[in-house]
Amino acid sequence: MSRSEELFARAQKLLPGGVNSPVRAYRAVGGKPVFVARAKGARVWDVDGREYVDYVGSWGPMIVGHAHDEVLAAVHEAAARGTSFGAPTELEVDFAETVNAAVPSLHMMRCVSSGTEATMSALRVARGFTGRAKVIKIDGGYHGHADCLLADAGSGVATFGIPGSAGVPAGAARDTLTVAWNDLEAMRALLVANPGEVACIIVEPIPGNMGVVPPAPGYLAGLGALCAEHGAILIIDEVMTGFRVAYGGAQALYGLVPDMTCLGKVVGGGLPAAVYGGRADIMAKIAPLGPVYQAGTLSGNPLAMAAGLKTLELLRRPGTYQQLEATSARLCDGLGAILREGGIEHTTNRVGSMWTTFFQPGAVTDYASAKRSDTARFGRFFRGMLEHGVLLAPSQYEAGFVGLAHGDAEITRTLEAARAVVKAGI
């Protein structure tokens, strides 16, 4: 029995599924999860000493590479001054100023400790500001596990095919409306059918939790116009895309000015930090200024602020996003050629350094089309790549992530692994 298997057996005695987050259990791809012992740059090592080229990257945060010397030094320096105070610190001011400079639509913001907290809080303040109860989300969109957002969610829930989730009372989900991605007319119809009742629309500007499914041209701008027309707040959930697809996120890439934005993952540099915010008149509703309550013991934690600040500093260095684009293009073009040569039906959606290869002929433009993928074949590909030292995201409905530490050696090794796996047959 491998050390990973030993640990997995022990873990399952105390942790549901042996994990602290469902997708890590490999239920969607089969086999048992590897337990990670350490990571550096683009590589992770499991507890049995096996090395992998890593494309999970902690599900997005590790864009500058694991255990980056400068990030570690910043965290160590902050930790030496204490790890948490429950009082305001200079780091939180520096962090807010840095994020505001990158994402100007965040006129005001609040730090929290997870993407779930960020989106849950953004919805509450949108409801408090508008006095309306209904929220609209995208079928296949995932915004964390707040009750009202677990309706036809993507990511883990989509992977398990659980429509919504047990434990979410009807009352909590009743005011959540869902609509297909990239269908502006369906969105318009939903707003018209619920006049004056929709507080907000929340979308991933580039969904990554049904797999990566880019917005159709004009779709995001259309959402903004519909929100303005119907008095609803447009919340852009950039937990995954923020600082990932551009330094200013998807809103910079697509020239969007949302009413509210949520950030997470990269912004914490691998430590627990997330952000929600937007228009000053909306955020003025947040306690202690206004009547919408939200709080958090570790909000703005100094270690997470330090890791996030250093990560964003590294991302500001010239050529960062050009490098991510070039490496990601080489990877995906190479994978595509290998799968084509092997006669494997697939289609790849990619925006910058986040991508998904769907095992189906495509095109994948929404959740319904994503679900036509051959998830069993994806599982065989995942397990084959794992055996050849490449760690992909363990679900067809997830994004893979390329980081600055992925270089020629990592891409070459990945493509050699893919050639071997396809040759062996999936």
The residues annotated as belonging to the active site are 142, 237, 265
Nearer to ligand KE4 by Cβ, of 269 and 338: the residue is 269
Chain contacts with ligand KE4 (rule: CB under 6 A): 21, 23, 59, 114-116, 119, 142-144, 155-156, 204, 208-209, 237, 239-240, 264, 398
**Helices vs. strands in the chain: H and E counts, helices first:** 15, 14
* Closest distance of CB 208 from ligand KE4, Å: 6
* Closest distance of CB 264 from ligand KE4, Å: 5
Residue of 260, 234, 228, 242 lying closest to 106 (CA atoms): 260
Enclosing H/E stretch for 108: strand 108-112
Q: How far is CA 59 from the centre of its chain?
A: 6
* Closest distance of CB 126 from ligand KE4, Å: 16
Phi/psi region, residue 19 (left: phi>0; alpha: psi -120 to 50; beta: rest), is beta
Distance CA 416, CA 378 (A): 18
Residue of 264, 220, 349 lying closest to 61 (CA atoms): 264
Nearer to ligand KE4 by Cβ, of 273 and 338: the residue is 273
Nearer to ligand KE4 by Cβ, of 28 and 385: the residue is 28
Three-state DSSP state, 238: strand
Going through 204-332 in order, the beta strands assigned E by DSSP cover 233-238, 260-263, 274-278
130 contacts: CB under 8 Å, gap ≥ 6: 199, 200, 231, 232, 233
Distance CA 346, CA 377 (A): 10
Under DSSP, the state recorded for 190 is H
- DSSP lists the bridge partners of residue 198 as 134
Residue with tokens 């200013």: 248
Nearer to ligand KE4 by Cβ, of 158 and 338: the residue is 158
* Closest distance of CB 166 from ligand KE4, Å: 17
In the bound state, the residue with its beta carbon closest to ligand KE4 is 115
Three-state DSSP state, 125: helix
Nearer to ligand KE4 by Cβ, of 61 and 413: the residue is 61
Q: How far is CA 253 from CA 201, 238, 244, in A?
A: 20, 12, 11
Three-state DSSP state, 134: strand
Nearer to ligand KE4 by Cβ, of 209 and 327: the residue is 209
Nearer to ligand KE4 by Cβ, of 143 and 310: the residue is 143
* Closest distance of CB 45 from ligand KE4, Å: 20
Q: How far is CA 388 from CA 50, 148, 161, 392, in A?
A: 10, 41, 29, 11
